[in-house]
Structure 1
Amino acid sequence: MPTIETTTTDVCIVGAGPSGLACALKLAARKIPFVIVDGLEAGHNGSRAVLMHANALEALSTTHPQLADEIVAAGVRSKLILNVSNKGQRNFLIDIDAANRAYTKYAFCLLIPQHIVEAAMRKHLGDVIQWKKRVIAVEAVGQQYEVRFESGDVVKARYVVAADGSKSTVRQAAGIKYVHPQTGEESGPGPKDMSFVVADVVLQEPIPASVPTECLQLVAGGGVLTAPIPAAKGQKNLFRFYLGVPGTPPPAPDAAFIQAILDQRGPGSQWPEPAVPKIEQVIDSSRYRTRCALAERFFHRSPGGGYIILVGDAAHKHGPAGGQGMNLGICDGCEVAEAIGTHRQTAADSAEVFEEYSTRRRATAREVIEMVENMTNFEKGGDGWGHYLQTKMVSTMMKVPMFTGRIAWRLSGLGHAKKVAVAA
């Protein structure tokens, strides 16, 4: 029979995605003992998030500047965001560099797949992740929680960080509801859920003028996003596509399925002389359904004084517009590590530091969800005068530098950065 292990530590992080890894890196920098586990056999390697914004890079760089530099070096810096119609007309342009360079050295959207970011974070963290650890129960015992796994192993910790995704077992164990941010009703599958395809593809040469090779582009009304992403050695013309899809797409859409969408409503599809990109190879593809959700609170205290704290998708969920998910999760992870460090130094057991974390990060998540929902509604467009007038109005407003600067600032997340007091 296999040996059953029981480990006692200060913090147990459940989930080794970006938010869990960010928390682990910050705890390691503070020399706070922790265990990090994940139910997968190894790290993610498929199509997921593809954008990093300034706030996440700034948060990582405070303790791991070399990590932030390596991530930036591995990605494509998109200093502009283009929004065009499928007829090729430019609706607007957001100059991220001009708007934000006075406030950060990361004045761009970094186009980089999530699995590359995670790999860099794991390298700096070291070989400490315990894989194939699927949680089956989380129970409060005295001042600690006992986290139990399918293997029979147990981790005892005062602080449990739920970084285990939108279907979080840890959140459910804490009895925290996952609700719609507007209605307050419990979130669940519904007819308004959006389906989309995420695909990494190699495009045939020559790359048509309808597809920029140095920046992010949104095709309004078509529900299509194109992003040039770093290619493996010996590879070129690699792009990430996000494609809104009515109904239910196949689990791993092939080139024919994706090409049909591009031909119908992709970039260049309605140009006087069509300039639709042609797919040479699909490297990876998957489907997702998304809806917005927000945990009713971001922490739970047991009667004995143990804490469960939520980060990332365990705390909030929204669509891919604006590339906010990975960034929000990384900043959650960084801040919860700070909160744990502060709480450990508090003589009296007070939940105040976690109340502050929950209030601040929940308000941030709510604001981001609202922004993403508005962007999604604009991107998917529609027929008739309503959509036409909306597009004209937004295009006119986006010609005002102060307005586009505000959008660039909101996308960067810098306005949500926690202000740290500096001793005199």
Structure 2
Amino acid sequence: MGETDVLIVGGGPTGLMLALELTSQDIPFRIIDSSPIRSDKSRALVLHSRTLELLNRHGIAQEFVDRGNFNLAVRIFANQKFVFENDFNIIAFNDTMYQNPLIISQAEIESILDEVLMKHQVKVERPVTAEKISQDETGVTAVLRHEDGSEESLRCKYAVGCDGPRSIVRNSAGLQFEGAAYPQDFILADVHMKWETRECLHIYLGASGFMIVFPMKDNVWRLICSRREALGADAEPTLENFQEMLDKLLPEPVQIFDPVWISRFKLHHRIADNYRAGRMLVAGDAAHVHSPAGGQGMNTGMHDAVNLGWKLASVIRGENDDSLLDSYNIERRRVGQTLLQGTDRLFEFMATTNPLYLFIRNYVMPFIMPWAMAIPGRRALAYRFVSELGIRYRKSPIVGQATTWKGTLKGGDRVPDGRLLKGNIEITVHSLLGARKHSLLLFSGVDGVTSTDDLEKAHVEFIEASGRSIPVYTITKSSSENIEIMDPEGLVHRLFGFTASGFVLVRPDGHIAFIGPLTSMDELKTWMER
């Protein structure tokens, strides 16, 4: 019987992201997928700002940027009339290096992650099917079937289901998948278009239905459509179906031709009742499925993997008790529920067949939206939700803050990013943080009270007390003989709320583990001993 530490079932974006996390942690694992080859078709098309940040912990975000295109705006139309344009260039966040969503196909994302993993001699085993999975107190046993029909028994410490809505891991663990299917029927096409317009996301609403239009590469556009009059039960969508909808919804004539892919599908909204059952865990579509509104599904799954990866590694290395894995369900299921509720409301409004809601959507909203979204703060708040930059884990049992801390940021919040100087070279806060270990950031404050000697003393005492190999970085407002990293304008200090000196312990997933003033370092040491 073969052995490994972790079995990842499913080689999509979530499984690949978890493989990357475990690779960076030097944790032995195997990743399998039942499909003989990767599909070149993909429903997911967007990497959001937070996902790019998480990818850049591994220094690979630019590879995705080079093979995608940033979406710079969303244009909304109703009844063949222009309603509103949300220009993302106007919404400038001062705490991230990635202002816009990146349009890139799931197939391209998987290809890049495959290439990155191959550099570490990691490859998805395919076609390999998990036929049976069972667990006991000490581990998981999986029966795997290979392409030639042979069976293999594998023993592992943990199994993670990244194997979609029909997950064998979730079913074997006895977890429920609560929810239902949307009643609407959807059709999808990737087509070439003769269309003179701004290359960005377009949303069209009208009496005949709604359509979302995404720009892809090489003059290919993705059309996702819900028609008021559904196709017959066995009918396949045609190019003419899409042309008919375009003629009814768009204010100008558009010609589509040379379809790359045409499909028909149903959508579901479901969430597992728990993301963990003993030594079996679920992530991505195996844990939650929801509407494509906001492009949240794939991104959320990749975030699941990042959250889980470092925790699995810490438990397997014996640094933490197995109970640490309970925080994965506590933190990520809450996010899944929030997104499910948010995307449900938005999607049901867009795809509604209710006469009253249709009237509001098609005739009232066009008057309200320009007024409601004219305030940049409202647009920024909406986009911050969609970009997933606002995700936080404040109610998690494994985060905290000093009793004397009065700042806006709390334990569990995402660590903001900002520009710093290391000598004469510009760096960012996030470039200091690794994907493998916690990191400690010490801030001098902008009031000039704390000396570099005080910061150095805090540094030394933390290393001695923690007994762990945690990188420590000291950030000051002015240059010093012993301090290399500067925040000359104090902008990063303000992002963190450090007028006086302070510290932030950062988790490997880029969220705050513990934060407080420098005078409360003893509280950090006590908290770490729990």
TM-score by length of 2: 0.69
Question: What is the CA–CA distance in structure 1 between the aligned matches of 2:352 and 2:271, rounded to whole Å?
Answer: 25
2:461 matched to which residue of 1? none
Q: Does 1:315 align with 2:268?
A: no
2:204 matched to which residue of 1? 219
Which residue identity lines up with residue 230 of structure 2 in the other structure? G
Question: What is the CA–CA distance in structure 1 between the aligned matches of 2:303 and 2:321, rounded to whole Å?
Answer: 25
For 1:2-401, list aligned pairs within 5 A.
6-63=1-58, 65=59, 67-90=60-83, 92-126=84-118, 127-151=122-146, 152-180=151-179, 187=180, 189=181, 192-204=182-194, 207-209=195-197, 212-213=198-199, 215-221=200-206, 222-231=209-218, 237-245=219-227, 246-248=229-231, 253-265=237-249, 267-268=250-251, 275-301=252-278, 307-346=279-318, 349-351=321-323, 353-380=324-351, 383=355, 385-387=359-361, 388-401=363-376
Contact 2:51–2:303 under 8 Å retained in 1: yes
Report how far residue 252 of structure 1 moved: 5.6
1:416 matched to which residue of 2? 391
Question: What is the CA–CA distance in structure 2 between the aligned matches of 1:349 and 1:228, rounded to whole Å?
Answer: 47
Distance change (3 Å), C-alpha of 1:20 and 1:26 = same
Report how far residue 142 of structure 1 moved: 4.7
2:509 matched to which residue of 1? none
Distance change (3 Å), C-alpha of 1:100 and 1:135 = farther
Which residue identity lines up with residue 213 of structure 2 in the other structure? T
Q: Secondary structure at the match of 2:390?
A: helix
Distance change (3 Å), C-alpha of 1:141 and 1:380 = closer
Contact 1:80–1:93 under 8 Å retained in 2: yes
Q: Secondary structure at the match of 2:187?
A: strand
Which residue identity lines up with residue 225 of structure 2 in the other structure? L
Q: Secondary structure at the match of 1:70?
A: helix
Question: What is the CA–CA distance in structure 1 between the aligned matches of 2:89 and 2:313, rounded to whole Å?
Answer: 35
Higher normalized contact order (CA 8 Å, seq sep 6+, divided by chain length): 1
Contact 2:78–2:366 under 8 Å retained in 1: no
Question: What is the CA–CA distance in structure 1 between the aligned matches of 2:366 and 2:340, rounded to whole Å?
Answer: 21
Q: Secondary structure at the match of 2:294?
A: helix
Report how far residue 148 of structure 1 moved: 1.3
Distance change (3 Å), C-alpha of 1:136 and 1:57 = same
Q: Secondary structure at the match of 2:16?
A: helix
Report how far residue 372 of structure 1 moved: 1.0
Of structures 1 and 2, the larger Rg is shown by 2
Contact 2:314–2:320 under 8 Å retained in 1: no
Contact 1:193–1:291 under 8 Å retained in 2: no
Question: What is the CA–CA distance in structure 1 between the aligned matches of 2:13 and 2:144, rounded to whole Å?
Answer: 22
Question: What is the CA–CA distance in structure 1 between the aligned matches of 2:23 and 2:64, rounded to whole Å?
Answer: 19
Q: Secondary structure at the match of 2:39?
A: coil
Question: What is the CA–CA distance in structure 1 between the aligned matches of 2:205 and 2:47, rounded to whole Å?
Answer: 22
Structure 1 alignment gaps of length 5 or more: 1-5, 181-186, 232-236, 269-274, 302-306
Q: How many residues align?
A: 384
- Coordinate RMSD, CA, aligned: 2.1
Contact 1:79–1:107 under 8 Å retained in 2: no
Distance change (3 Å), C-alpha of 1:414 and 1:347 = closer
Report how far residue 158 of structure 1 moved: 0.8
1:137-186 CA-to-partner distances (Å, cap 9, x unmatched) read 10114511111123412222111111000111110000000113xxxxxx
Which residue identity lines up with residue 313 of structure 1 in the other structure? D
1:312-340 CA-to-partner distances (Å, cap 9, x unmatched) read 00000111111111110111111111110
1:197-241 CA-to-partner distances (Å, cap 9, x unmatched) read 22211113xx144xx32x11111344211111123xxxxx21111
Question: What is the CA–CA distance in structure 2 between the aligned matches of 1:357 and 1:100, rounded to whole Å?
Answer: 31
Report how far residue 349 of structure 1 moved: 4.2
Contact 2:231–2:237 under 8 Å retained in 1: no
Report how far residue 101 of structure 1 moved: 3.6
Contact 1:95–1:404 under 8 Å retained in 2: no
